[in-house]
Amino acid sequence: MSGPAPTQSAAHNAAAAPAPARGSARANFVLFVVSLLIALLAVEIGFRAVAGRPLLKFANWRKERVATDRLGEFKAVPDPVLGWVSRPSSYHNDGYTTLEHGIRRNFTETTIRTGAILAVGDSFTEGWEVKDHESWPALLEKKLGVPVVNAGVGAYGTDQIVLRAEQLLPIVKPKTLIVGFLEEDIFRAGHSVFGAPKPYFTLEHGSLKYHPPPPMEQVRAAGAFSGALLGLRDVLGYSAAADYLFARLNPNYWYRAGTRDEYRKANNDPVAVTCALLARLKARTDREGIRVILLMQYHAPQIVEDDAPTENAERVTGCAEALGLTVVDQFGPQRAPTGGAPRPGDRRRADCLWPSCGRAARRHARSSIPPSRWAWRSRARAAARTGPRRSGPALRRIP
């Protein structure tokens, strides 16, 4: 009989059939992931093309927006060394124009001019709320007839100003360096956050130690689930399409930066740090044959209300003169147009360059100063002054 044969044959065929491959499930998963990534990449490229975003730019778009929100007041972008710098390369808004490295344009120049004068400082040097041609570096250039490169950056402390000068010296190659300090800039050097994260220095065994800026946002996860969500957000932040989508679906989740300190003091002596940085700068400029002028400036309330510079300003100008720097202290010349009289016996002489010193001072800077008067001279200062000294100013967020 042939009945059992088919059964044995079927059993034999079943036994001979190959078992399912162990890696098939893994291969399917990998294929799914690759397909998903390709689809997401196609969406990303399509979105960037339609929205006019750079197709090849690799950046965390979410973090860039957080930084822009925090630094927008300063017309700045984050910098890993300086904390922030002015927006570079032809940024233009309401009479404010920049070149490479965030240099502010004075007139119609399109490139950084080398071999003449470099001016560094904070918003007083940068020319906050005035047009390009109205900043004091532009006025000085017009008066002298030589290029004055305006490298001022709003809200800088003295530490950032010196670092900025050190970075730009090999680029600008100046014969003269003007370091513009606002009295409050000394106070800012005593902070690791001043409006935004910034670097700071400490003196350890007599040597300067640099501390980089803390993160722009410091997020502390409340638990494992919250940490996973924040981690996912960090990954998705590299997608311009995800940034656009989540910014509209849930901006609180997408842009929430956690704790945000507007001001955080550093454990240092800002005057000692400033003087040590000036000494380091002086040693370098001496080697390179660059003349350095320290221009000390003040806020209007100090000029009108105070009878003398603050103790911090006097200590910094004193150590600068001891180093052999040319010091131009604007307290007296700025005070004169307000109706206040300089202290009797004060022999310091300087001309007001800051466009906001007052109308009389502006006219004086623009038309009354012959070029020969720009031959600045150092003056010796007594190591100690008699009479009461004033403490530094209260904390103010002024760019």
**Tens digit of pLDDT for each residue in 33-47?**
888 889 888 888 888
| Residues 118, 248 within the same domain | no
Q: Is 329 helix (H, G, I), strand (E, B) or coil?
A: strand
This prediction has a pTM of 0.69
In this structure, are residues 282 and 323 in contact, taking their beta carbons and an 8 Å threshold? Answer: yes
| Residues 220, 205 within the same domain | no
Share of the chain above pLDDT 70, in %: 70
In a domain, 51, yes or no: no
| Residues 176, 210 within the same domain | yes
Look-up: residue for tokens 């490295």? 101
**What pLDDT band is residue 3 in, cutting at 50, 70 and 90?**
low
**What pLDDT band is residue 23 in, cutting at 50, 70 and 90?**
low
In this structure, are residues 395 and 263 in contact, taking their beta carbons and an 8 Å threshold? Answer: yes
Look-up: residue for tokens 């093309």? 49
Q: Regarding predicted confidence, which is higher, 282 or 70?
A: 282
Q: Is 108 helix (H, G, I), strand (E, B) or coil?
A: coil
In a domain, 388, yes or no: no
**What pLDDT band is residue 399 in, cutting at 50, 70 and 90?**
very low
In 3D, which of 234, 318, 305, 340 has the Cα closest to residue 272?
318
Q: Regarding predicted confidence, which is higher, 18 or 192?
A: 192
Instruction: Domain of residue 283: give its range.
Output: 73-214+265-374
The confidence score (pLDDT) of residue 70 equals 62
| Residues 365, 280 within the same domain | yes
| Residues 184, 231 within the same domain | no
- Going 299 to 303 to 307 to 308, the CA torsion angle's sign is positive
| Residues 148, 207 within the same domain | yes
Residues 208-259: pLDDT tens digits?
999 999 887 766 556 677 667 777 777 887 888 888 787 777 776 676 655 5
The confidence score (pLDDT) of residue 373 equals 31
The confidence score (pLDDT) of residue 146 equals 96
Mean pLDDT of the chain: 78
Q: Is the pLDDT of residue 383 over 50?
A: no
In a domain, 16, yes or no: no
In a domain, 396, yes or no: no
In a domain, 40, yes or no: no
For residue 203, the cross-strand partners are 208
Give the amino acid at 107.
F
Per-range mean pLDDT, top range of 50-54, 68-72, 253-257, 292-296: 292-296
| Residues 315, 207 within the same domain | yes
Count: domains in the chain: 2
In a domain, 236, yes or no: yes
Q: Is the pLDDT of residue 378 over 50?
A: no
**What pLDDT band is residue 67 in, cutting at 50, 70 and 90?**
low
Q: Regarding predicted confidence, which is higher, 203 or 308?
A: 203
Residues 318-329: pLDDT tens digits?
999 999 999 999
Q: Which of 203, 237, 262 is the last residue before a domain boundary?
A: 262
| Residues 225, 152 within the same domain | no
In a domain, 30, yes or no: no
Share of the chain above pLDDT 90, in %: 44
| Residues 185, 243 within the same domain | no
Look-up: residue for tokens 């004068």? 117
Q: Is the pLDDT of residue 116 over 90?
A: yes
In a domain, 6, yes or no: no
CATH of the domain at 368: 3.40.50.1110
| Residues 117, 153 within the same domain | yes
| Residues 335, 221 within the same domain | no
| Residues 258, 112 within the same domain | no
